Structures are given as structure tokens and as C-alpha cells.
Structure 1
Amino acid sequence: MRVLYIDIDSLRPDHLGCYGYHRNTSPVIDQIAREGVVFDRCYTTDAPCLPSRTAFYSGRFGIQTGVVGHGGTAAQPKVEGATRSFDDLYNQQGLARQFQKLGFHTAMVSPFGQRHAAWHFYAGFHEVHNTGDGGMESAEVVQPVVDKWMADNASKDNWFLHLNYWDPHAPYRVPDEYGNPFEGEPIPEWLEQEGLVPKHNKIVGPHTSMEVCMYHGRGNPRYPRYPGQITDDRTLRMMIDGYDVGVRYVDDHLARTIAALKDAGVYDDTMIIISADHGENLGELGIYGEHATADDATCRIPLIIKYPGGAQGVRNQMLHYNIDLAPTLMELFGGEKQPIWDGDSFAAAIEAGDDVGRDEVVFGQCAHVCQRSVRWGRWLYTKTYHDGLRLYPQEMLFDLDVDPHEENDIADENPEICREGQWRLSRWHDAQMQRMALNGGDMVDPLWTVVREGGPFHARIGNSSLGGTPLKDGFEDYMQHLEATDRQEGAIQLRQKYAAQLARC
């Protein structure tokens, strides 16, 4: 058996044809989906990139690993301390190591470990091919490395290959000569509603429509598909087209990988998994081109699995985590679920199409904001502990059945549902702390470490930087930018909210 894991950074499921998207962004992926199982409601436990991939390969929630952010203490795995053996838990119990124990040759084509100094990401891999540009490389740089690996190895037995593509990740860098296959095609209908752009232009916070590039509205001529600001229908279309072209560009290159498997005569005997580290805000909560919140737009990920001899043409409607894949794969391949793993197997969904899964999922974000959310039934309840300069209320509630793009926060009108959401979060947190007490080297919830160290890395109030300048000056520069773009009230509220913290800088 062979396992091909295709990891497409920032890929939203609802921008793929097999998830109902109206644009033809993914013909190759859609064909694979028809030959396997499509999981409609899979979530990363921890967003964005570094926390998500750490969770995936460790099989653990970020609250357990300690990796929930992009900088500071929360970007490093918790120290194992006196219980550490000759090697560490990532090598002993990580997913890649379990494949090695089963006799698989493990390989990776990704620069991710170097991009985030996440050396634990490489644990359990026989070979790593770093494509060299820290995630800024486009598919035409990645694919020749993949082609060479396939030519050398595709026909061999028992390998696990992780492929990492980056083109849907901002700033959209598909070469100009590729063109725009979606020019003139409608963008998602909800984004075309009258008055949406002017409403979003009043929202404050990094990566909102007036500062797509985090804290300013200046575009970069190196990335003509990526606008600095979204102020009208043209720039809104430019944003959506840029993202969708990135998805289609990866899909076109995947065709070469699939062809290599077929040419080697092993396509039918290869398990193919297509997923992502996280999704992407494309207007949800007023954010564009960033994976910045603990919401459906950021934390829901695609999961498509073609398994030889398994179910075909099936959709699974239950809730799942990305960390559920580790025990699932071990059940399918005769391995063992590791003692520290937090996930549950859903092998029956892949083998027989059974609609197995979870009734609720909890997921977090501590790189751009500090939030935890719980998803159950039709509801998404979000608790904000640090708003990342976005003025979010402490509680938000969305009915995703009628409001899938999170336009209407209905927390105030539904206190009883908010209480249930808070109870679900508290129950999950208690279980995590109890597990930590039995298995961990400390009793620290890393979310609170992030808050103590000044807030999420990309909006830190304290000993870091904001927009590339010393933090206190950077905060004031941003306030002046808000005032210059007719958002004086937002600047006043942010100054008041962060006055005490700024005074300590």
C-alpha cells in the first residue's frame, strides 16, 4: 500500500467543486473525491499553520503540546522535562514514526519545518525535501521535486509521502502568464450583496478590508493578484479571483502527480488524502486573505480520502478533527493508537461509508486572536480572550445553518444557547486539564501564556513588534491609519481598551 497526503495550505473546502463551489477550481481533486469519501465537517483543532500541523502529526490538541501560536513560548512544544527519554514524544508516538514502525518509507516535500523553525515537524521522516523558499514558492517550484520523487519511488511499495502546496496562501503568487481562468465569472453570491464592501470598510483590525496586508493598505507590485485594500467591486473580485486561481493552479499541478501514479501502475493501490492546515477568511468577520480567527472560515478544512477497496462516492456529515486521522490510519494499516493521542478513529467511514463521527468539536486560535470555539448542531459559539485589535465581544454566536458566513452575531438574543456553548467549552477544558495532570509535565494552558506574553504574536502588546516597528510606535501608527481611513471611533475604542497595556510598554 502507498499513502499520498496532499496538504494544500489555506484551502477552504467551499472553494472546491466537490464541496459545491460554482467555479471550476478543482477538476482533479473533484475526480478523486468521486472515488472516495468527502468529509463535510472536518476541523483543525488549532489554527493557524504551526499549531495545526503540530496537532496533526502529534495526534494531540494544542493545549497538550503547548503549540498554539506563532511566536513566544506558545510556538515551542512543551518541555518534557525529567520524563524525556533518549528521544522525545514526537519521535516515539508521532504519526510519521508509526508508519516507519509498520515498514513504510516516509518522505516529505515541504519547507514548513524551516519556515516556522518547527523541527518536531520532521520527526519520523526518512527523507525531507525542503523546496527552499519558506512557503513563498509556487507550484511550479514544488512540482519538479515531486515529479523526481515519483519517478524514483512511485512503483515501490509501502511509502507515505506528504506533499505541501502553498498557492492559495496569501499573497497570491501564481505567475502572471497563467492568466485568470475565472475572469468575468460570478464571485460567491453572499459577497455581491449591496453595501457589503462599505460596511466592511468600517471594521477595524489587521487583515480587514482597508488593510489586507495586515496593518496597512499598500499593495505589493510583486503580487498583482493580491490587493492592498478592498474598496469596490473590482478589488473584491481581484481578491476572490486571486485565491481561486491559486486553488486551480495547484489542481493543475496535481494532475501531474496523479498521472505519475497511473503511469507507474499504482494509482488503484494508493490511498490519497487531500486536506489542509486551515481554511481562510474571505470576508467572514470582515477579514480578507488571512486565517485569523477560531471560526468556520479558518478552522474548517477539506478532507477527501480515496482508499483502495474502500467506500466511493460517499459524503460524511459528522464532525471530525484533523487529529482523528492518526488513529484512523493506524486502524486501517494495523498499527496502534498511541497513548498520548487525543483523536478517535473513523476508519469505518472510509472502509464502509458509515456516517460515524463526533457530536461536537472544539477548536482554537492564538496567533492572530486568542479564541476558543465549539461547534455543535447548527451552532458556532466563540469565546474571545484577546481580540487581536479587532474589537470582538467576549462571546459570539452564529447559526451556521442560516448564516454560514457569520454575518450576524446573535449572542445577545440567545443567552441560553451561549450558556450551553460556555458549558461545552468548560467541559472540554476540564477534560484537557485532567488529562494534562495525568500525562503532562506541567499544568499550563498555553492560551493564557499567550495572553501573559502580550497577546497573539501578530497583534502583540508587549515585547514584540507590530507591522515591523517597535510595538508602542506601531500601535500608534495603526491608530493614525484608522483615523486617516474614516474609522476614528474604532481608534478611540482600541486606545481605551489597550491603554493599561500600552502604559507598561
Structure 2
Amino acid sequence: MNIVFISLDTLRASRLGCYGYNKPTSPYMDQIAAHGVLFERAYAADIPTEVAHTGIFTGKVGLRTGVVAHGSPLTHLPKKEPWLPSLLQNYGFTTGAVDNLYQLKEWFARGYRYYINSVGKKRGIDGETVNKLAFPWIHEHKQDNFFLFLHYWDPHTPYQPPQSYVPQFYKQGQNPYDPANQSMQAAYNHAAYPFFKHHHYDLLGPVTDAAYMNALYDAEVRYLDDRLRELDERLIEEGLYDDTLLILFGDHGESLTEHDIYWDHCGLYETTVHVPMLMRWPRRIPSGRRVTGLVQQVDMMPTVLEAAGITLPPSLDGRSLWPSIRGEADGTRDFIYLSECAWQASRGIVTKDYKFIRTLDSGPFVRPRRELYDLRSDPKETLNVAESCTLMADDLEYRLDEWVAQILNGQVDPMTTQIEAGLPFRNRINEILRQYGLTWSQWMENPCRERFDDAAIAASHEGSSSI
């Protein structure tokens, strides 16, 4: 058998047709879903990228491995931790990856006989680059039993799809740079603006229409969809389609202005933690199966190992998805615990009907300490009912505390340690502000674009370097 394991970085479930979106972002992914199984309520328990992928490849949540923060020098994954590619390689699979996570942390290259760095010059890391690197590898190893990890980054900021993809999502005649349109002002005046100015906005020009940014995201998803179609065509051409377990998943989603988050992936809201998860394996996975119960990313590792006939290592948090795939169960659990520690530090718990979030450090955001949402009546999480439904909020908070205490078992909480050292993305903003003689407190008192630009001009007159 062959396993093609695909991370669709920053892909939000609700932006795909097979998850109910009404724009043509994903015709091919919709077809994959129709020929396999779709998990309607799959969650990224740990966000963002670094912690999500660590959980995926260990089958363990971040609190158990200690990897809870993204971009932090404090994190390390011991080599004793079971690692999916290593287990498959030890069992005789030829393992390969087209990926660049090794540049974040060394452990992402573990277990691969062939690790191909995907950083390219055209649009950074794009699907065309991934395919050009992957297709020769597939041809060379088509006689092997192989595991191939492919990491596509197209929906990640900055959104720079080929221009031909944009018109179907942004009406002709609209002007994304119309000075009369003020819909971008909230983003430009956000406390996180210094970071995004350099990494995202400057690359797109003086956009004034927030709808244009959302259209660019949709265009990136459609571009990605076409690259996945090309990948599938290659599998067919090489005679690998029927014997390949294909798994597609989002590592996290993306907030597109919701909850004061502008084209980024923080916050334990559905926009970011509800991710797509699709699996196809002809004759082994029934076509058109939709699992409605709760599942999470760490469930993929035991699922892959079971498919390969490999004994599961002990102490995994993940549970096999095969009972749900076969229709013997509907999901793997009743509660999923959530965590983030990059822009802000918070934990949460999601059930069939409710979402509870507790914020420990809000970073550049304004957040209440406790949030509770009734997902049945308020799927977009617009009404915080923590104060009016205190019994439910208290019960879910108690469950959350019990889970944290059980996992830690007396050990130091790695999230507390990270908060004391400073949240990684807040530290990044601090580095930028220092170039202009600004402190975090000064910036937070008046976080507007004009003030930052004025500070940049003043600093340049003093000989400071620009961003």
C-alpha cells in the first residue's frame, strides 16, 4: 500500500463546498470527499502550525509532549516520542516528504529517507513547487510501499494567487484600492499591525476593501484545489490510485475578520480550529461517508498505523477513526480539548453543542477571561453566554481543569512557562517596535497605522533601520 498524507496549511473547513460553502473554491476536493469519507467536525486541538503538526505526527496533544507554543525557543520534542514517519520506516515503508517544517524545528525531518525542502522562489512556497518536487519522487518510488508527506501552503498569508484565479471571487468593476472604502481600517489599526504590515500588507499594496482580502483567500483555495487535481492525475498515470490511502487535512483554519482577527489563525473559534479532514482509499473506504461526530487531528496517526498493520505505541491520545469510517461509531470522543500559545494563550473545550474558552493571556487582543458559545443556535460564536449560563460554563471549566491536571500529573505547565517568557508573537512585535523606539505599552495605548508610520519616519531620521 501507499499513503499520501497531505497538510493543507491554513485551510478553513467552512470555505470548502463539501463543507457547505457556496463559492467554487473546491470542486476537486469535493470530488475526493464524494469518493471517500469526510469528517464533518474535525478539530485542530493545538494551534497553530508547529504544535498542530507535532500532534499529528506523535498522536499526542501538546500538553502531553510539552510542545504547546509556535515559534518558541523553549520547545523541544524528545527523541523517545513515537513519530509516525519513523514507525512507518521501521516497518518497511519508503518515507518521503516535500515540506519545509524542518526550518521551524529539527524534529519535523525525523523518520524520512528522503526529505525535500519545498522553499521556492516563485510566490514563496506554492503548490506548483510542491508538485514539481513530488511528481519525480512518486515516479521513482512507485514500485515501493511508500509514505509521502506533502505540505501545501497556498491559503496561508500573504494571499498572492495567480491573478487569473481572482475574478471568480471578486466582481469585475470593484476597486480593491478605492479610498472611499474604509473596511480595512480595523485591520490597519489593530495592535498586531506592525507584524502584518511587513509580512503581508506591504506585499499587497494599499488595499482598502476587506472583501478583496477574502476573495484572495478563496482564490488561493481554488488554486490549491487545481494542484490537488494534478496530483491525483499523476497517481492515476503512475497506476497508484487504487492502492493509495489519500488523507487530506487542514492544520488549522483562518479567521477572515471574525473575532477581531484579520487574516490570521489564532483564537480557539470555529474559524480556526474546525478543519477539513478527508480520506479516500478505493474499495476500503466507502464512498460518500460523512462522519458527524467529534474527531481530532491526533486520531490520524493511529488510523494510519492500523491501516498499515502496525501495532500502536502506548499512551497515544489519538483513537483510530476506522470504527467511524466503517459506520460502527460516529466520532472518537464526546469532548475535545483545545489549546493555543502564540499570539495569545488560551485553552478550551468543545462538545457536540457548546464551546468554552478560557484566556490566560490575551496578547494584542481584548478578550474576556471566559467565553461560552451555544454552537447549536450560534454557530458563528457571536454571543458569549458565559455570564448568563454560568452552570454550563462552570461545568466545562471544571472538566478542562481536570483534564489539564490529569495530563500534567504534577509537572510544570508548559503554557505557564511560555507566558512568563513572553508569548512568541508578542515578542516578535516587541522586536519590531524596538526599532522605532516604541514599547509595547506605548503601542497598545494607541495602536493605529498612522502612529506606527509616524514612528517609523521619526526613527528613520534617527538612523534606525526600517522594517
TM-score by length of 1: 0.81
The separation in 1 between residues aligned to 2:188 and 2:168, in whole angstroms, is: 31
Cα distance, 1:412 vs structure 2 = 1.4
CA contact (8 A) 2:102 2:108 kept: yes
Is residue 89 from structure 1 mapped to residue 80 from structure 2 by the alignment? yes
Unaligned runs of 5+ in 2: 173-181, 452-467
- State the Cα deviation string for residues 333-364 of structure 1 (Å, max 9, x = none): 21111124221112122244742421010010
Secondary structure (helix, strand or coil) at the match of 1:469 reads helix
Name the Cα RMSD after superposition: 2.9
- 1:218 to 1:52, Cα distance in 2 relative to 1, 3 A: closer
Question: Could you tell me which amino acid in structure 2 is paired with residue 236 of structure 1?
Answer: A
Aligned partner of 1:392 in structure 2 is 367
Aligned partner of 1:452 in structure 2 is 420
- 1:474 to 1:405, Cα distance in 2 relative to 1, 3 A: farther
Range with bigger deviation, 467-476 or 396-405: 467-476
Map 1:78-477 onto structure 2 (within 5 A).
Answer: 88-90=79-81, 93-114=82-103, 116=104, 118-133=105-120, 136-153=124-141, 155-184=142-171, 201=186, 205-207=190-192, 211=193, 214=195, 220=201, 222-223=203-204, 235-308=209-282, 309-352=284-327, 354-434=329-409, 443-454=411-422, 456-460=423-427, 465-466=429-430, 468-470=432-434, 473-476=438-441
Query: How many correspondences in the alignment?
Result: 442
The separation in 2 between residues aligned to 1:183 and 1:202, in whole angstroms, is: 20
The separation in 1 between residues aligned to 2:9 and 2:199, in whole angstroms, is: 24
- 1:258 to 1:352, Cα distance in 2 relative to 1, 3 A: same
The separation in 2 between residues aligned to 1:306 and 1:219, in whole angstroms, is: 35
CA contact (8 A) 1:206 1:214 kept: no
Cα distance, 1:480 vs structure 2 = 6.0
CA contact (8 A) 2:155 2:220 kept: yes
CA contact (8 A) 1:276 1:302 kept: yes
Range with bigger deviation, 273-282 or 329-338: 329-338
Secondary structure (helix, strand or coil) at the match of 1:268 reads coil
CA contact (8 A) 2:120 2:129 kept: no
Cα distance, 1:40 vs structure 2 = 0.9
The separation in 2 between residues aligned to 1:10 and 1:484, in whole angstroms, is: 26
Question: Could you tell me which amino acid in structure 1 is paired with residue 310 of structure 2?
Answer: G
- 1:241 to 1:423, Cα distance in 2 relative to 1, 3 A: same
Aligned partner of 1:25 in structure 2 is 25
- State the Cα deviation string for residues 436-494 of structure 1 (Å, max 9, x = none): x6xxxxx121110111112x21124xxx65262329824256336536779xxxxxxxx
Unaligned runs of 5+ in 1: 81-87, 186-196, 438-442, 487-505
Range with bigger deviation, 338-347 or 375-384: 338-347
Question: Could you tell me which amino acid in structure 1 is paired with residue 204 of structure 2?
Answer: Y
TM-score by length of 2: 0.87
CA contact (8 A) 1:13 1:302 kept: yes
- 1:136 to 1:76, Cα distance in 2 relative to 1, 3 A: farther
- 1:484 to 1:199, Cα distance in 2 relative to 1, 3 A: closer
Secondary structure (helix, strand or coil) at the match of 2:388 reads coil
CA contact (8 A) 1:307 1:350 kept: no
Aligned partner of 1:478 in structure 2 is 443
CA contact (8 A) 2:191 2:444 kept: no
Aligned partner of 2:55 in structure 1 is 55
Question: Could you tell me which amino acid in structure 2 is paired with residue 332 of structure 1?
Answer: A
Identity score, percent: 29
Cα distance, 1:217 vs structure 2 = 9.5
